[in-house]
Amino acid sequence: MVVHRRTRAVGADAVTATAAMVAAVAAVLAGCSPGGGAGAVRPPAGKVVAGPVDAGEAGEAGAGEVGGGPLGAVRAAPDLLARSGTSRARTALEMVTGGTRLTIEGEGGYDFRAGHGRVRVLLPEDGDRPRRAITELFTPGALYMKDRGAGVPADKWVRVDTTTLQDGNLVTGGATDPGAAAELLRAARKVTYVGRVRVGGVRVAHYRGTTDIGAAARAAAPWARGALVAAAKGFVTDTVPFDAYLDEAGRLRKVRHRFSFANGEREVEVASTTELYAFGAEVEVWLPPRAHIYTGRIST
């Protein structure tokens, strides 16, 4: 059951409302001051298009870097995604609170070279209110949301500085930024090979291990570093268990992270899954002009 709360300013308290549907999608969708963080880098408004990388180039790079055993294979995955360029993505965020399992699903596309993406997130039912969809744009340092509701005009976007969020937007927006999900693997530790399975009809190698958010932030691509530095401060522990699934070219096809939040005296577990497919697909991200950004306060 979703618990609605009053707006808080984006910042250190942004994820304290986690327990209610990651607190109605963990504080950002439950309420924030979208005008906060105006000093963050803001890409210019307009269209960002990412197209396919030459398939031969991507395939050769992948085949050449899957060495180093399980640890080397997993740590190499973010660089191989960047060389592949783009992909389609499915996301899922799950948690259990008050005996109720909540799932937020999303689907869209992502450019792993630039850290840009577009995902349509589907929120759970809320009592008699049917499931509602929100469009989210991922950019370095900022998350944009359309169809946010709760007082936001229908033609406006909400913009949030992800470097001010206590979790760096790993769960706040209801979908983990696919690029950030991959970048976390740069600090993979204690990786073991589990076996061969199929993901989306593709035969993949299943690996299991843990990663360290702080170490991942230091090793991350520049566009992902700020948000991961913020995330390193917001969880119960920097250690995050994961399951990663790599195809024969070493590309990440699926990753599942399990994050832990402190909610009062309780610890809340949130599982985030990102599935990647259709590598090389064109990804379009239209960044809204400043006039289309909502600057008022939100209440739910």
pLDDT in tens, 18-43: 333 344 444 333 434 344 433 333 44
**Average pLDDT over the chain, rounded to an integer:** 78
pLDDT digits (tens, 9 = 90+) for 110-144: 999 999 999 999 988 766 777 789 999 999 999 99
Q: Could you tell me the pLDDT band of residue 184, with boundaries at 50, 70 and 90?
A: very high
Give the per-residue pLDDT at 298: 60
E strand or H helix at 26 = helix 21-26
Q: What secondary structure does DSSP assign to 180-223, as a single string?
A: HHHHGGGGEEEEEEEEEEEETTEEEEEEEEEEEHHHHHHHS-HH
Q: How far apart are the first and last CA of the chain?
A: 14
Give the per-residue pLDDT at 56: 34
pLDDT digits (tens, 9 = 90+) for 4-22: 222 233 332 333 223 333 4
Q: Could you tell me the pLDDT band of residue 264, with boundaries at 50, 70 and 90?
A: low
Give the per-residue pLDDT at 147: 83
Prediction pTM value:
0.79
Give the per-residue pLDDT at 33: 39
